[in-house]
A = this chain, B = another copy of it.
């Protein structure tokens, strides 16, 4: 469903290698992230290029000497590397999606795995806010199609956060403010206050932030309250204007993210001025998605970056992208019991064999079923009937064909419907007709 949605919106698939040069990855995810990168030991004699001095200097220094490659940590940085390397072949705006595993040397726990799939869609080479609107549309479409009904797409803008910093008298300190506010969900308002003070934000400025936590009402009301907080700050105005334009696009697209209300009574897409997103490369709109009434972190997120490719020597290419955390979505769907019974498509027919003779009889039947495109199996041994039926049961095979001596004599085989527990005597033609 994620693939289908991405493609419907004009995104094409891309895959990049699991390994990148270590130097491509380090320094992009903060110091904490760098430590979580899985490094590949150089092949052959990895000690050949090291001296005793290198070893004395400890593992951090030595890592660079014994490891040149690493496993990708996300799909965004490899994508930026790819765009820069292929900039002469790529047609911009470049819309690509990428569904591949990434690896992080984290302590595994629910919703946090060492290997997990990311599903990214990014468009680079345009400033148009239509892209942001379409991201909201794609998130809404995918989650709705998967059967989710009560979820919140939170949106904010780095300009709003910069404007707030300026308005409270801490211009240029938005990075510290973001890092602190980003933890609001985890540590609460008091925790954020404490961290802000620790990071050197003045008591006065922290106090001025209070109205930010008290914003309420619908999106229009919040925009107005924000306007009052932001005043005439240039960055704040940029943020407000961009967000208003995203809303205009969504209105014209009849967006269900705006017209569908959650249990809270508010629409799915809500402006959240305290949404910060940890990653430092975002410069415009930012997104985060949470499923309500489920114990799980965000299942999707993203934002606009004006200079992601700049770190690889190609400045001035703006892009916007987002990612689905499929493993988390999987866990959520399990918790809400939203996986349909039929999601595991397997064998449709099992032919039971009693002896060599019935096996020989069954082989051309098996071939005819497969020629008709029906997934079928002949149990490979003349095991006890009970065992063969248990096999069908455990593999959730809906039909079983039984071929005994009577069936071989008459040409009418027993077709058993495993769900209904009924069986019919049918010719092979009738069986094919029945099953297709």
Contacts and interface: CB of A to CB of B under 8 A. Distances in A.
Interface string A369-386: 010011111111100000
B10 A347 contact: yes
A103 B18 contact: yes
Contact of A370 (B8, B252, B345, B375): B8
A39 B38 contact: no
B9 A130 contact: no
A197 interface: no
A10 B377 contact: yes
A18 to B, nearest CB: 6
Contacts of A363: 249, 252-253
B59 A105 contact: no
A307 B290 CA distance: 48
A279 interface: no
A67 B41 contact: yes
Contacts of A43: 35-36, 38, 105
Copies in the complex: 2
Given A59-B45, A91-B395, A253 B367 contact: yes
A127 B364 CA distance: 21
- Tell which of A41, A103, A346, A370 has the most Cβ of chain B within 10 Å: A41
A53 interface: no
B364 A252 contact: yes
A68 to B, nearest CB: 11
A360 interface: yes
Contacts of A378: 130
A394 interface: yes
A381 B129 CA distance: 10
Interface range for A: 35 or more
A40 interface: yes
B366 A253 contact: yes
A146 interface: no
A23 to B, nearest CB: 15
Contacts of A91: 390-391, 394-395
Contacts of A62: 47
B17 A115 contact: yes
Given A10-B375, A346-B12, A380 B130 contact: yes
Interface of A: 7-10, 12, 17-19, 35-36, 38-41, 43-48, 55, 58-59, 62-63, 66-67, 71, 91, 93, 95, 101, 103, 105, 114-115, 123, 126-128, 130-131, 249, 252-254, 344-347, 359-360, 363-364, 366-367, 370, 373-381, 390-391, 394-395
Complex A-B, nearest 6 residue pairs according to Cβ-Cβ distance, in ascending order: A128-B380, A10-B377, A252-B363, A43-B105, A91-B394, A39-B41
24 contacts: A7-B345, A8-B374, A10-B375, A12-B344, A12-B346, A12-B395, A38-B40, A38-B43, A39-B41, A40-B41, A43-B105, A44-B59, A46-B59, A48-B59, A55-B55, A91-B390, A91-B394, A93-B379, A93-B391, A126-B381, A130-B380, A131-B380, A253-B366, A254-B367
